[in-house]
Chain A
Amino acid sequence: NAGVMQNPRHLVRRRGQEARLRCSPVKGHSHVYWYRQLPEEGLKFMVYLQKENIIDESGMPKERFSAEFPKEGPSILRIQQVVRGDSAAYFCASSPSAVYNSPLHFGNGTRLTVT
């Protein structure tokens, strides 16, 4: 019974490159959330998606960041033209229903380093 799978575990990008982070939710979960963890801080909400729909992207920077959760395949968090400030751990979580009714299952995260 696989949990949330994120890849890659570690990603190094030079400034200006693109970063693509992938997340496969728990089988049967249709709600996906992306969170960012900066050093010495707790996780901050970025975006909430259901299959093929972005429900809430209020925590995501308006420029350079985008997310999708297609009908088939994993959810993708895409960061264009990365800058040093994008260096962080990015966690994906999934749930079978709206989060206040069920706790989130988190992946192990992708640690992005921008050089």
Chain B
Amino acid sequence: AQSVTQLDSHVSVSEGTPVLLRCNYSSSYSPSLFWYVQHPNKGLQLLLKYTSAATLVKGINGFEAEFKKSETSFHLTKPSAHMSDAAEYFCVVSNSNDYKLSFGAGTTVTVRA
């Protein structure tokens, strides 16, 4: 079985400052890990994915995430927040032998001007 814990339900940052969204996972097998973003009343957009290649994964819009197996973490970062980054972010895990995705509960990001 697999599961995801997003450690912060809400993160508030000032525009131009770094963003850190924390995610821990558990998985019985080699996991694939994803970060998705959901803007209000929109579908989910893939930011980045990890599938056992480089542990530092670069995504769209300046986001990146680092896979740390020893800490079972996959935290998402961005060096400088933009107003358009205000949205909900989901950390997602799937096992290599399972097609079901397990979603975290989500982290809502607000960006202050």
Contact = CB atoms under 8 A, between A and B. Distances in A.
Interface of A: 3-4, 6, 31, 33, 35, 40-45, 48, 55-56, 59, 91, 93, 98-100, 103-109, 111
Interface string B36-68: 100001111110010000000000000000000
B69 to A, nearest CB: 17
B90 A42 contact: yes
9 contacts: A3-B43, A31-B99, A41-B106, A59-B100, A99-B94, A100-B94, A100-B99, A106-B36, A108-B42
A98 B99 contact: yes
A36 to B, nearest CB: 11
A59 B103 CA distance: 13
A40 B9 CA distance: 9
A100 B98 contact: yes
Interface in B68-113: 90, 94-106
A96 B53 CA distance: 21
A55 B106 CA distance: 27
Interface of B: 4, 32, 34, 36, 41-46, 49, 90, 94-106
B43 A42 contact: no
Contacts of B103: 35, 42-44
Given A48-B99, A48-B100, A91 B90 contact: no
Contacts of A35: 101, 103
Contact of B99 (A41, A99, A107, A108): A99
Contacts of A33: 99, 101
Contacts of B46: 103-105
Contacts of B32: 100
